[in-house]
Copies of this chain bind each other. A is one copy, B any other.
Amino acid sequence: MKIQEVRLTPVAIPDVPLVNTKGVHQAVFLRTIIELVTDVGLIGIGESYGGARALNGMRKAAESLIGLDPFHLNELRRRVEQALPNAGGINAPTMLTQHQVVDAVYSAFEIPLLDLQGKFLERPLCDLLGGAVRDRVGFSGYLFYKFKKPNEYRGADLFGEVMTPNALLDEAKALVDEYGFRSLKLKGGVLEPTLEIETMQLLRDEFPDAPLRIDPMGAWRVPTALTVCDAIGDILEYLEDPVRGMDAMAELASQTHVPLATNLVVVEFEHIVQAYRNGAVQIILSDHHYWRGATGSIRLGEFCRAGGMGISMHSNTHLGISLAAMVHVAAATTNLTYDCDTHYPWTQNDIIKGGKLTIENGSIEVPKGPGLGVEIDADVLAEFHDFYVSQNLRDREDTDEMRRYIPNYERVVPRW
């Protein structure tokens, strides 16, 4: 079995204006759908970042995949490194963190190779990762402050404007009603810390048993974070990236007992070694889109276990192929005992056959395979690729978009 053709299809999908500390989601989000066609008729699929730098990295490396044996992941790594010297130029394929392009591109192609392995074997992808240790994977309800969606944007809105603690509570109730989430995560760093504290307290009152998290994406200074820890530390499962940078996280960690999680300061294996030494974090968020794919995410689990850390899972806005891969990885990560993050409820479209995957009782069943267990709907893919072509957007830019709502908006880090 050899790769004969690499198809990269960028798509644009209608989004809703979810707010974070950097800005707000644009009218659409971008993803790249990957299809690796083999000489035996099997096609391996994947989904990754849609921004120009990641897409260009995939395009640069695509040709080198021709002839590759889908079982030879080490050879994939070698070819991607050769196609993208100097870690691919280190650019950030996501807007949030500084990942190596080479890691993102390797990761983007590893999933379709594992999908091919699974299809070849007629087994679910998680069997290539040591097998599922759970039948269903739990997800937390991902709560956002948001604006009302402009009428001229394509697609429906959800919940209108949500910019107060009480409005956020209503949003949470609606999401829990619909999906049965048993844990909740708030994207913070948006309102004044006192209002976000109030929001978390409202959530605790309404959902007394639900594990709660808040992720201000580094918006706070250490003293602010300490104030938050004092106020609501005892109702938090963990606090995600409260302050910016490894040093600030280590400083905060030395002064609080609230477990600190990150997907910003530990994004490569080398960073874990640093974190072992300085104690900056107690939980690392995996993400197969940049942690060297599914196999790298499994290894990350072993790093966390060895270092006495917990492991959870990060999400960017994504479609069902990414979600299926997340579920397979989570199913095979023995020590991934936290509910995973997902933006999926905010996405009203999907390009997989049969429409969106089902979240029930806050969890998703591990697809039975073969491979990822989901397939592309070619017509819908073409539709959202056409939409991508028609849109004048090639990169995510939340800060610019924020000025649509707040004309003089300036990004300040840390803000409080």
Contact = CB atoms under 8 A, between A and B. Distances in A.
Interface of A: 69, 71-75, 77-78, 120-121, 123, 127-128, 130-133, 268-270, 272-273, 276-277, 295, 299, 302-303, 305-308, 332, 334
Contacts of A273: 276, 306-308
Given A75-B131, A273-B276, 16 more contacts: A69-B127, A69-B131, A71-B128, A71-B131, A73-B130, A73-B131, A74-B132, A74-B133, A74-B332, A130-B295, A269-B302, A269-B305, A269-B306, A276-B276, A299-B299, A299-B302
Contact of A131 (B74, B121, B277, B334): B74
Contacts of A307: 270, 273
Nearest to A71: B127
Query: Lowest 4 A-B CB distances belong to which pairs?
Result: A72-B131, A269-B306, A73-B130, A74-B130
Nearest to A277: B277
A60 to B, nearest CB: 22
A384 B250 CA distance: 58
Contact of A334 (B77, B121, B302, B305): B77
A281 to B, nearest CB: 14
A302 B293 CA distance: 14
Contact of A306 (B77, B270, B277): B270
A251 to B, nearest CB: 19
A268 B308 CA distance: 13
Contacts of A268: 306
Contacts of A306: 268-270, 272-273, 303
Contacts of A269: 302, 305-306
A42 to B, nearest CB: 14
A403 to B, nearest CB: 40
A69 B120 CA distance: 17
Nearest to A123: B71
Contacts of A75: 131, 133
Contacts of A71: 121, 123, 127-128, 131
A69 B121 CA distance: 13
Contacts of A72: 127, 130-131
Nearest to A120: B121
Nearest to A331: B74
A333 to B, nearest CB: 9
Contacts of A133: 74-75, 78
Contacts of A308: 270, 273
Chain B CB within 10 Å, residue with most, of A130, A307, A334 = A130
A123 to B, nearest CB: 6
9 contacts: A72-B127, A72-B130, A74-B334, A75-B131, A77-B334, A268-B306, A269-B302, A273-B306, A276-B277
Contacts of A270: 306-308
Nearest to A333: B74
A240 B74 CA distance: 29
